[in-house]
A and B are shown apart, each in its own frame.
Chain A
Amino acid sequence: MSADRLFRPLAAAQHNVLIEFDGQPLSVPAHVSLAAALLASGVRHTRESAISGRPAAPYCMMGVCFECLVQVDDQASVQSCLVPVRAGMRVRRQCGAAALMPVGEANDE
């Protein structure tokens, strides 16, 4: 059975917002968590494990399992189930561990 049938909104989304996922525009339901918005829009692969590289997607939806990590507007390791989706968010898969040096500053000087 496709997982798609498991994602049924209780009521039709009142409106959608536009975000960016891995560089592509994506229209997602408003007023839900970023994790729910990604799942409802067909995204099934949101991170890769820092230990094994295993692909993963949001799982517990309540802040416990850390499977839903993504980058949001250059902030690494955001738990997407804990942040509301917002128009214009730039979201990327969290692939591996975050760098301690902020992106772009490591090569300064």
Chain B
Amino acid sequence: MQKTDVIIVGGGLVGMSIAYGLALLGRQVSVLDEGDDAIRAARGNFGLLWVQGKGYGMSPYAQWTRDSVALWPRFAAALHADTGIDIHLRQAGGFQLCLSDAEMAEEAARLGWLREALDGDYPYELLDPVQLRNRLPGIGPDVVGGCFSPMDGHVNPLKLLRSLYAACQARGVKVINGHRVEAIEPDASGFRLQAGDQRWSARQVVLAAGLGNRSLGEQVGLDVPVQPNRGQILVTERLQPFLEYPTTYVRQTDEGTVQLGDSHESAGFDDGTGSRVMAAIARRAVQCFPLLGDVRLVRAWGALRVMSADGFPIYEMSQVCPGLSVVSCHSGVTLAAVHALRLAPWIAGDFDDPAVKPFGLHRFNSSMEMRHVG
């Protein structure tokens, strides 16, 4: 039996961000990670730090997302100081490109609602095609307009994951790969966890296992309503820099490749790709930037988003099993900073952050119907 203060189940961006935050607070942390055959959103995402449009209908999420991007420079600086790895954080803003008037109107309505909900403190600009073309050369004639927000940005998500592993290990976090946690049981001194013939014990447990949180939650009496939502991404050959800003469908990485997204599909736990969706992604990317029509694609993949029943994060501390918390969310990149620097102190019990309250599981209890949506 191996003992530690805190065990985090899940070594993706969410689990590692929290592990890093807890290590910064001096906690003794172990991360139990499933293995390379696991379903991993952390290795398939698009790398956006995205604010605009998020939290429509739930302003605390918009604020939480804003708080995270405000913390991101400090978070990235800490990672860099601990590891020397440049994760290529850029926070110069981002563009949502619209291909129809209806899409433009919908975006404008969402952003208008959010600006009002955040008492006017929500910077963005709606751009007509001429304004947009001046800001983003190479935009195609099918683009009818766009929204720019200086709140948005991007990062290299694989370098982020790598730097989190390195920073955690530098600060004494034990990362234990290749173990799929099968059982969690509360006992007198905390919890006992079991994976195969291995046993661990900890005073505190954090479930950060993505889609695995559903079945792990059941073991401790929590209904965690998360479902997979598949996104596919295409990657081009390396190109000389042509696109400084991230857009929702097209993003050039620091090493020159261009990622094309995004799609939303219900495909269960199948994280494969399909030609119909790939063709649609390619078509839209070429509509946005016609010069991409001649470039070569070198890779494509599918990855599964962790979507809660209402699309917003779940942060829960169990009342029945004190010491057990659940963290489930989409947007592990955008929220990495706030997870490390604010959620980890909340989990540690150092700071009863009121901003976390709206994300509890209680919100699903009052509306049973929502639980089965999407």
B residues apposed to A, CB below 8 Å: 138, 237-240, 242, 255-256, 291-292, 294-296, 298
Contact = CB atoms under 8 A, between A and B. Distances in A.
Nearest to B256: A97
Interface string A87-109: 00000000011111110000000
A77 B238 contact: yes
A83 interface: no
Nearest to A78: B296
Contacts of A51: 238, 255-256
A60 interface: no
A98 B255 contact: no
Interface in A50-105: 50-51, 66, 76-77, 96-102
Contact of A96 (B240, B291, B295): B240
Given A51-B238, A101-B291, 20 more contacts: A50-B238, A50-B255, A50-B256, A51-B255, A51-B256, A77-B238, A77-B296, A97-B237, A97-B239, A97-B240, A98-B237, A98-B238, A98-B239, A98-B240, A98-B295, A100-B239, A100-B291, A100-B292, A100-B295, A102-B294
B239 A99 contact: yes
Interface residues of A, number: 12
Contacts of B238: 50-51, 77, 97-98
Q: Report the 8 A-B pairs with minimum CB-CB distance, sorted nearest first.
A: A97-B238, A50-B238, A97-B256, A77-B237, A100-B242, A97-B240, A99-B240, A100-B239
A51 B253 CA distance: 12
Contacts of B298: 66
A53 to B, nearest CB: 13
A87 to B, nearest CB: 24
Nearest to B255: A51
